[in-house]
Amino acid sequence: DLFFFLPASVKETRLRLTPQTLQLGSAYVDAQSETQRFVEIIELPVDSVVVPILRLDNRLQTNTNMTFEPLSSLTGLFAFSQGRELAPTGYLVQGQAARQLINSQRSTIAGLDLGWVTGQNLTMNWTWRPVVANWLNPLASFDSRYRFNRGASFVTEQRGDTVLTGDFDNARNVRASVGFNLPVFLRSTFGSPRSAGVGALYNFFDRFDIFNVTWTGTLSSNFERQTANPTLGYEMGLGGFESHRIQSGDTASRVTDSEAMSLSSGFRFPFGIGLNVDYGTNDLLIWTQISQSRNRSTQWPAFNLNWSRIPLPPAISRWVSAFGMRAGYNLRKTRSDIFSADQTRISETKSIPVSVNIAFTTEWSANYTLNLSDEERFDPTGTTIGKNTNHAFQLNGRLRPLTSQGSFQHPIRISLRLAQDNQEQCRSLGNPFLEGSVLPEAQASCEPFTDLRIRRIDLTVGTDLPPFVLGLQGSWRDTQSRIGQLAGNTQLEIILFGQFLIETGEIR
Contacts of the segment 12-19: beta carbons below 8 A, 24+ positions apart: 13/71, 13/72, 14/71, 15/70, 15/71, 16/68, 16/69, 16/70, 16/71, 17/70, 19/66, 19/67, 19/68
Using CA atoms, how far apart are residues 375 and 450, in angstroms rounded to an integer? Answer: 14
Stretch 340-344: mean pLDDT: 82
Over the stretch 125-180, which tens digit does the pLDDT of each residue have?
999 999 989 999 999 999 999 999 999 999 998 878 899 999 999 999 999 999 99
Over the stretch 167-215, which tens digit does the pLDDT of each residue have?
999 999 999 999 999 999 998 888 887 788 888 888 899 999 999 999 9
pLDDT bin (cut points 50, 70, 90) of residue 9 is: very low
Angle (CA) 443-302-127 rounded to 5° is 135
Residue 171 Cα distances to 143, 236, 287, 492, angstroms? 8, 10, 15, 48
Q: What is the mean pLDDT of the chain?
A: 90
Residue 482 contacts by C-beta under 8 Å, 6 or more apart in sequence? 451, 452, 453
Stretch 432-439: mean pLDDT: 64
Helix H or strand E segment including 38: none
The larger pLDDT score, comparing residue 174 to residue 309, is at: 174
Using CA atoms, how far apart are residues 225 and 251, in angstroms rounded to an integer? Answer: 11
The larger pLDDT score, comparing residue 116 to residue 4, is at: 116
Q: Judge whether residue 443 has pLDDT over 60.
A: no
Stretch 5-17: mean pLDDT: 61
What pLDDT is recorded for position 407?
Answer: 67
Cis amide leading into 466 (omega within 30): no
444 three-state secondary structure: helix
DSSP string, 125-174: EEEE----BTTEEEEEEEEEEEEEE--GGGEEEETTEEEE-EEEEEEEEE
Residue 321 Cα distances to 88, 306, 313, 362, 363, angstroms? 75, 18, 11, 9, 10
Angle, helices 196-205/182-190, rounded to nearest 10 degrees: 150
Enter the pTM of the model.
0.83
Using CA atoms, how far apart are residues 324 and 321, in angstroms rounded to an integer? Answer: 10
Percentage of the chain with pLDDT > 90?
Answer: 67
Q: Judge whether residue 99 has pLDDT over 70.
A: yes
What pLDDT is recorded for position 37?
Answer: 82
pLDDT bin (cut points 50, 70, 90) of residue 275 is: very high
| Residue 99 φ/ψ, nearest 5 degrees | -65, -40
Over the stretch 447-485, which tens digit does the pLDDT of each residue have?
999 999 999 999 999 988 877 888 999 999 999 998 888
DSSP code of residue 344 = E
Q: Judge whether residue 227 has pLDDT over 50.
A: yes
DSSP β-ladder status, 412-429 and 447-465:
antiparallel
What pLDDT is recorded for position 110?
Answer: 85
What pLDDT is recorded for position 202?
Answer: 87
Span between the terminal Cα atoms of the chain, in Å: 68
The larger pLDDT score, comparing residue 56 to residue 478, is at: 478
pLDDT bin (cut points 50, 70, 90) of residue 501 is: low
What pLDDT is recorded for position 502?
Answer: 65
Residue 46 contacts by C-beta under 8 Å, 6 or more apart in sequence? 39
